[in-house]
Chains A and B, each alone.
Chain A
Amino acid sequence: MELVGSEELSAGEIATHFEITRPAVSQHLTVLKGAGLLSERRDGTRRLYRARPEGLAELRDFLEGFWTARLDQLKAAAEEAEAASKRGRK
């Protein structure tokens, strides 16, 4: 991500920074693109990649919503369990 933070690079240029095969780099780029952390642009036959910082804000928004919803569920489930244990003790 550091490599593509300030400039666009092609998969081939990115691969020169790592001792792995081009297909392996492409596979990793696809994952990051799917996660919204990387943008891809076609320039003729080349694909150029750039970090997508707004993807990080979206990730945090997603997690805030995720944990808010989950904790609401936790509250409901734990209160139900508490009520059941109180009934059990009576």
Chain B
Amino acid sequence: MNPTEAIVEREVRVDARPETIFPFFTDPELMVRWMGNSAQADPRPGGVYRIDINGTYIARGEYVEVSPPDRVVFTWGWEGEGSIEPGASTVEVTLTPDGEETLVRLVHRDLPSEDSASAHGRGWEHYLKRLRVAGAGGDPGPDQGVVQTSAQAD
């Protein structure tokens, strides 16, 4: 794989059925058993996804696709940290049964890369726009992230 490609792929083989594994991506009580301290989830397209990993790192995005028991896609970024804006990258999880086991494949794409300088430009514009509103004493409203904002641009 091209090492500069802005993608992270990971797989794990789990001795459980997809039906058992799937809610670990959608049910806050189960999410905290492998992801963090606390979680909020509204598992439907456009629904919020927010996990406080360790008090410092807070991951936030929205569900894009929720197809139990084999596929869930959500956007992803860090609140306040800056390297990936909330909602700017995408995590795609597929659960493939293999005998008694399930292959869990996670692909985290649209990560910042040197090739995505223009995407960074969009990130800048998005945040600078928000800062401009906040700086003028206004409320920029809930942050919908870069991807959604560009899609809704009027």
A74 — which chain B residues lie within 8 A by C-beta?
12, 14, 21, 24, 34, 104
CB neighbors of A among B1-36 (8 A): 6, 8, 10-17, 20-21, 24, 30, 33-35
How many inter-chain contacts with C-beta < 8 Å in the A-B complex?
113
Our pick among A36, A59, A67 for the contact of B10 (Cβ within 8 Å) is A67
Q: Given A63-B108, A71-B104, answer yes or no on A78-B16 (Cβ-Cβ < 8 Å).
A: yes
- Cβ of A25 to closest chain B Cβ, rounded Å: 8
Looking at chain A's contact residues, is the secondary structure mostly helix, strand, loop, or mixed?
helix
A82 — which chain B residues lie within 8 A by C-beta?
15-17, 20
At the interface, yes or no: B113 with Cβ under 8 Å from chain A?
yes
Number of contact residues on A: which range applies? Answer: 35 or more
Is there an interface contact between B35 and A28, defined as CB atoms closer than 8 Å?
A: no
Which B residues contact A (CB, under 8 angstroms)? 6, 8, 10-17, 20-21, 24, 30, 33-35, 80-84, 104, 106, 108, 111-114, 117-118, 120-121, 123-124, 127-128, 131-132, 135
Which A residues contact B (CB, under 8 angstroms)? 1-2, 5, 18-21, 23-25, 27-28, 31-32, 34-37, 53, 55-56, 59-60, 63-64, 67-68, 70-79, 81-82, 85
